[in-house]
Amino acid sequence: MMVFNFTKYVQWPDHASSGEFIIGVIGNEDVYKTLTTWYGGKPRGNKTYVIKKFSSNSDLTDCHVVFIDKSKSNEFDAVNTKVKGKGTLVITDKNGLGEKGSAINFKTVDNKLKFELNQKAIEASNLKVSGALSSMAILI
């Protein structure tokens, strides 16, 4: 659910055009099923949410958001290289990937789920993040 909520606080370069708003998931069937059930086919402004499941970085096509599960964290470098500069928000959930270049990385702090926001990665992806999201994040 948090993966979807991040889309409310990020502005993409093509935000005004119509078509599909694609969220890709690598490696977590539960996240994919939840996003598909709750948001697949629903409107996002002039766009429609489309949720796609990818088994690896080699299958990855253009996405607005790509979530890489910790079980596939070994794919991070390849995914990050593939989407660099394409306006893709990369979200991960393994310690260390925020510093390594993930735009948003989940981590547990004092038994609570928090997230890191890598400002350089956001800028490199040509995305804009609202101050509200930045204020909730651990900034890198």
Q: Summarize the confidence of residues 6-28 as an average pLDDT.
A: 86
What is the three-state SS of the chain? CHHHHHHHHEECCCCCCCEEEEEEEECCHHHHHHHHHHHCCCEECCEEEEEEEECCHHHCCCCCEEEECHHHHHHHHHHHHHHCCCCCEEEECCCCHHHHCCCEEEEEECCEEEEEECHHHHHHCCCEECHHHHHHCEEC
pLDDT at residue 135, rounded to an integer: 92
pTM passes above 0.75 = yes
Quickly state the pLDDT bin for 45 (edges 50, 70, 90): confident
pLDDT at residue 15, rounded to an integer: 57
pLDDT at residue 16, rounded to an integer: 58
Residues 6+ apart with CB under 8 A from 123: none
Q: pLDDT of 52-67, one tens digit each?
A: 999 988 989 899 999 9
Statement: residue 24 has pLDDT above 80: yes
pLDDT at residue 1, rounded to an integer: 65
